[in-house]
Amino acid sequence: QGLYSSVVCPGLVMSNMTYRILPVFLWKLLMPIMWLVSGSPAWFWAVTHFTASDVWLFKQKPEYLDSLVKYHSCTSGLGKCYVEPRKMDVDEDIAEKFYQKLLELEEQ
């Protein structure tokens, strides 16, 4: 039907949910390191870097993308954003059965 679905990993995004993963004092220790790695303040890093894979994916033709790949937002040591495709560990037979089941449920 012309619909496509892709999996995107935003990488490390500084948000209220992220702060719950580690104690606050650890984040305070990590923030200067993340600033040095990215070359920009953490608030800027969060906004620009987590959208890299989303924006990249939006610009692609969906029919040419691998449906078994997850696209990760990454940052080089010099702060340059890039997208890295990583193959997902998915059993293609199970995925096909799941898809067929979804089609059956949709008809109901």
> What is the per-residue pLDDT for 43?
47
Model confidence at 91: pLDDT above 80: yes
Based on its alpha-carbon atoms, the radius of gyration of the chain, rounded to whole angstroms, reads 18
Residue of 72 and 103 predicted with greater confidence: 103
Instruction: Write down the domain spans for the chain.
Output: 16-107
Instruction: Report the chain's mean pLDDT, rounded to a whole number.
Output: 75
> What is the per-residue pLDDT for 58?
85
Which residue's entry shows tokens 């679905």? Answer: 5
HEC profile of the chain: CCCCCCEEECCCCCCHHHHCCCCHHHHHHHHHHHHHHHCCCHHHHHHHHCCHHHHHHHCCCHHHCCCCEEEEEEECCCCCEEEEEEECCCCHHHHHHHHHHHHHHHHC
Write down the pTM of the prediction. Answer: 0.54
The mean pLDDT of 76-92, rounded to a whole number, is: 80
Model confidence at 64: pLDDT above 50: yes
If one counts every other C-beta atom within 10 angstroms of the C-beta of residue 16, the result is 6
